[in-house]
Structure 1
Amino acid sequence: MSVAEAPRARTAAAAAAPRGTAAVAALSIEGVSYSYGARRALNAVSFSVQRASFTALLGLNGAGKSTLVALITRLFGLPTGRISIFGDDIGRNPGAALRQLGVVFQPRTLDLDLSVMQNLQYHAALHGIGRGEARSRAEALLTRIGLADRAGHKVRDLSGGQMRRLEIARALLHRPRLLLLDEATVGLDVKARAELIGHVRRLVIDEGVGVLWTTHLFDEIEPSDDLVILHQGRVLARGELAQITAETGTADLHAAFRQLTGGDSAGAAP
C-alpha cells in the first residue's frame, strides 16, 4: 500500500539551491531488491529523500533497513534497481555520489584508543583534507556538538551519547549534503536520544542537509517528517504522517502501522 508524497515547504537552504537542481532528490531509490540466497530482504523498494528534509525510515528489526543502508553505501553490490545521490548513480559514478554522503552506522566505528581530535583528523585524511583544514573543520564541529573541551580525550572515556555526536561530526567533516543514520540511538538513554535527534534535526534547518534516519522507534517520528514504512522488505506507505493515517483511516502512527503490517508490531516501542 502506498501513500503519495505531497509537496511541502523546504528550508531557505533548499530554496537557495542552484537553478536547475531543485528537482533533483538528495537520495533516489528506484526498484531496489536484494536477496540473501533464497531469502528476499528487499523487494522493489522505491522512495526518495529531498534536500534539506528529514526522512524517517520506520521498520521493525529485520525489515531490511540495514540491508538498504549497506546498498546505499556500497558495502553490498546492487543487483537490481538504481540508487543515486544528488543525481549521481552510485554504480556508474560512485566517487561523485559517495563524496556527497555522510554515514553513521548502527555499530560504532570510532577508534577507542585515539583521541577525539585524532579520530576526526584520521577521517579527514581519508577524504584528502589537508591537516590544517582538517583541524579547523574539526574544531568548528566539536564546538557545535559540545565536545570542544574533550578534543584531547580518548574516545573510550566518552559517554554513549557523546560518541554518537562525535560520529555525526566525523560524518560531516567532508561537508556532505546527505546524512544517513542507521538506528543511531540504539543503546542511548532517553535524554541522550532526545539530544541526538534534536541535533540532527537542527542540521536540516541550519545547514540544509538531507537526512535519512532509520529507526524502529515510533517516538522518534514527528508529524512533519517524510515517513517511509518498510516491512519485510517492502515499502508499505510513504508520505507525511497525516497522509498515512488518512489513507489507512486510523487515528495515529501505531494504529496505521498495525493495519499496514497486519498487526505485526512486536519490538516497536510505544
Structure 2
Amino acid sequence: MNALEVRGVSFAYGARQALTGLDFELSAGRFAALLGPNGAGKSTLIALLTRLYDLQQGDIRIFGHSLAGEPRQALRQLGVVFQQSTLDLDLSVQQNLAYHAALHGMPRREAQARIDEELERQDLGERRHEKVRTLNGGHRRRVEIARALLHQPRLLLLDEASAGLDPASRLALGRHVRNLCREQGLSVLWTTHLLDEIEPGDELLILHRGERVARGKAAAFGDDLATSFARLTGDEALGRGYVREAIRPKRADDSSDTVSVRAAHPTREARP
C-alpha cells in the first residue's frame, strides 16, 4: 500500500489555477522531495493534504484512506511540520509537546511516555525543560518534528522545513529526517525550492505552474540537476535566483532508474 496517492487533483483560487491534474504516489517508508520554484503550487498541495483547503477536484489517499470520504482515518496517519513555526516560544519543550498531546486526547501517562521517546529520538532529552525561545533554529525544527510524531503517524509532511536555517542546520535536518525513514520506516514528503537539499537517492518530483513536470530518482536526472531543473521550469527560475549553481549528485549504481517527464510547455519538449 502506498503512503500517499494524489490523483487528478486540481485547485483554483477564483480564476487563477494553482494545481492542474496533479498525479503522483509515495511508497511507504520512502523519502520523496517535491521540488519547485515559489509559486509552483507546493503550499496549495500541503493545504489540501492537511485539509486546510477542501478538495475541488480529484482524490487524495493516505495509506488507503480518502481525505474526502474518510478524513479522520486519513489524518490520523499524518504528521505535519509547516514552514512557519507554530511553537509557543515562552513554553518549554516539554510543555509544548504536552499541550499537543492533550489536543490529541492522549492520556497523560501515555503522552509522557511518547514525549520521552520522541525527545530521545530527536536527541533533545536534555533540553526538555528549556524554553523554546532559547533554542537555535535547527533544534526548534527538531521539537516540531517530535511534536508531529507524538501520535505515531506513518506519513510526515515537511513544508519548506529548512526555511530560515543556516546551511549546516539545513544539512543536519535533512540527514536526520532521512534517517527516520531508514531506521523507523517513516514515509516523508519534503517540499523545497532549494536544489542543494536534494540527494541522489531521493525520489524526486518537480512541480511547475501547478503541474508535475518530471519525476524519478534524483540521480537519474544526470550530473547536472540544476540545468535539468532550469530547463523544466523555464527561464524565470534562473531569473529569480533559484538556480545559482549546478549541484552534481552522483549517479546511482542502479542503471535502471528512469525519469518520467511531462512537458512544462505544450510547444516544447522538456528533458531532464
TM-score normalised over the length of structure 2: 0.86
CA drift at 1:224: 1.2
Counterpart of 1:163 in structure 2 is 140
Deviation readout 1:79-125 (Å, 9 max, x if unpaired): 10100000000010000000000000001011112111111111111
Q: Which residue of 2 aligns with 1:44?
A: 21
What is the aligned counterpart of 1:54 among 20, 31, 40? Answer: 31
Look up the match of 1:267.
241
Do the aligned residues in 2 keep the contact of 1:58 with 1:227 (CA within 8 Å)? yes
Which position in structure 2 is the counterpart of 1:177?
154
Aligned AA for 1:256? S
Cross-structure match for 1:13 = none
Distance 2:80 2:63 in 1: 16
- Is 1:228 matched up with 2:205? yes
Contact 1:238/1:244, CA 8 A, preserved across alignment: no
Secondary structure at the counterpart of residue 156 of structure 2: strand
Which residue does 2:230 correspond to in 1?
Answer: 258
Task: Report the CA distance between 1:268 and its aligned residue.
Answer: 1.6
Instruction: Percent identity, please.
Output: 57
d(CA) in 2 for partners of 1:244, 1:188? 27
- Letter matched to residue 233 of structure 2: T
SS in 2 for 1:149: helix
Contact 1:105/1:183 (8 A) holds in 2: yes
2:51 counterpart residue number: 74
Supply the RMSD in Å over aligned alpha carbons.
1.1
- C-alpha distance after superposition, 1:153-198 (max 9, x if no partner): 1111111111101000000111111000000000000111111111
The whole-number CA distance in structure 1 between the counterparts of 2:15 and 2:221 is 32
Residues 140 and 86 of structure 1: CA distance in aligned 2, closer, same or farther (over 3 Å): same
> Does the residue aligned with 1:214 lie in a helix, a strand or coil?
strand
Using the alignment, how far apart are the partners of 2:114 and 2:219 within structure 1? 39
Deviation at 1:40, TM superposition (A): 0.5
Return 5+ residue gaps in structure 2 as ranges.
Answer: 246-272
1:8-40 deviation line (CA, Å, top 9, x unaligned): xxxxxxxxxxxxxxxx21010011111111111
Report SS of the residue matched to 1:195: helix
1:1-270 superposed matches below 5 A: 24-245=1-222, 251-265=223-237, 266-269=240-243, 270=245
Greater RCO, CA 8 A, separation 6+: 1
Amino acid at match of 2:16: R
Q: CA deviation at 1:242?
A: 3.8
Paired with 2:234 and 2:189, the residues of 1 have a C-alpha distance of 26
AA paired with 2:30? S
Quote the Cα distance in structure 2 between the aligned partners of 1:38 and 1:267.
28
By how many angstroms is 1:263 displaced? 2.9
Deviation at 1:262?
A: 2.7
CA–CA separation in structure 1 for the residues paired with 2:47 and 2:164 = 21
Q: Quote the Cα distance in structure 2 between the aligned partners of 1:204 and 1:48.
A: 16
Runs of 5+ consecutive residues of structure 1 not aligned to the other structure:
1-23, 246-250
Q: Distance in 2 between the 1:260 and 1:63 partners?
A: 12
